[in-house]
Amino acid sequence: MSRVEQLSELVGDLTPVRATPISRRAPDAHIRILIADDHPIFRYGLRTTLTTQADFTIVGETSNGDETIAVANALKPDVVLLDFSMPGCPPHDVLLRLREDRTVRTILLTGGVGRSDIVDVLKLGARGVILKDVPVQQLFTCIRAVFNGDLWVRRQDFAHVVEALAGGTDTRRLSGGHDDRTPKPTVHLTARERDVLALVASGETNRGIARKLALSEDTVKHHVTNILDKTGMSSRVELTLFAIEHRLVKTA
């Protein structure tokens, strides 16, 4: 994504747009997105970028935390893109309120965030944390991943986040209660599935796993799907926490 947030400094005297529902809907869209940011030009740039995707629909915009809660309750978006430093109700409180509606998934947009903050916001119900200056394709991937039930963190933060969350954290609460499936009491994994799980827990992508195990990416995807089904988990982060808790992988 271009650094459109930097342009917001040029319009500091403009009045932020009040909660603005947008009725336009692309014919094939199915991911309904609410943009929550106090900078008008950043919202404009983000909206313009996201509407290039046929499966994205921008249903509204808000400029502070209180508006975000009210509009999210009214419009029921699939995904809320929430600025980490927006005025009004603090983002941590917004997350708690949005988590009450289990159909809403929140992604925090930030110019920079510490690893401890990432852990905190995931515990509060965020489904993803992404920097504002990432390439647009990465943002698109993040939105689709979160919409499909995954958690999203930077790969370099993955190990730290898992380690922090694994210390006594209930993996069912981590997802904000979204996934109603319960883990099976006994998990029977094949030797190859254990190999794949160990690499998933280390933060490897499907491509990286395929390369290390001399498998095709389709085969790796098949193994990951089977492991998720056997454990009852819905994302790679949840799967990693489950694996650590049940000693399915070795930890340092």
Segment 42-48 shows an average pLDDT of 92
Lowest mean pLDDT among 45-54, 113-122, 201-210, 235-244: 113-122
pLDDT at residue number 3: 34
pLDDT at residue number 247: 73
* Domain assignment present for 161: no
> Which tops the pLDDT comparison, 85 or 36?
36
- We report the CATH number of the domain holding residue 203 as 1.10.10.10
pTM: 0.59
Give the integer Cα–Cα distance in Å for 65 and 69: 6
| CB count in 10 Å sphere of residue 13 | 5
- Co-location of 121 and 232 in the same domain: no
Percent of the residues in the chain that have a pLDDT greater than 70, as a whole number: 71
The model's pLDDT over 121-171, given as tens digits with 9 standing for 90+, comes to: 777 888 888 888 888 999 999 999 888 877 787 766 666 666 666 554 443
* Domain assignment present for 176: no
What is the extent of the structural domain holding 9?
4-153
**Closest Cα partner for 125 from 103, 96, 149, 150?**
96
The CA angle 137-142-144, to the nearest 5 degrees, is 95
pLDDT at residue number 175: 38
The model's pLDDT over 239-250, given as tens digits with 9 standing for 90+, comes to: 777 777 677 776
Beta bridge partners of 109: 83, 130
Q: How would residue 11 be classed by pLDDT, with cut points 50, 70 and 90? A: very low
- Co-location of 43 and 98 in the same domain: yes
Q: How would residue 16 be classed by pLDDT, with cut points 50, 70 and 90? A: very low
- Co-location of 30 and 132 in the same domain: yes
pLDDT at residue number 47: 93
Overall domain count for the chain: 2
- Co-location of 10 and 132 in the same domain: yes
Inter-residue contact 78 to 104 (CB < 8 Å) = yes
Q: Which of 78-82, 117-121, 169-173, 188-192 has the highest mean pLDDT?
A: 78-82
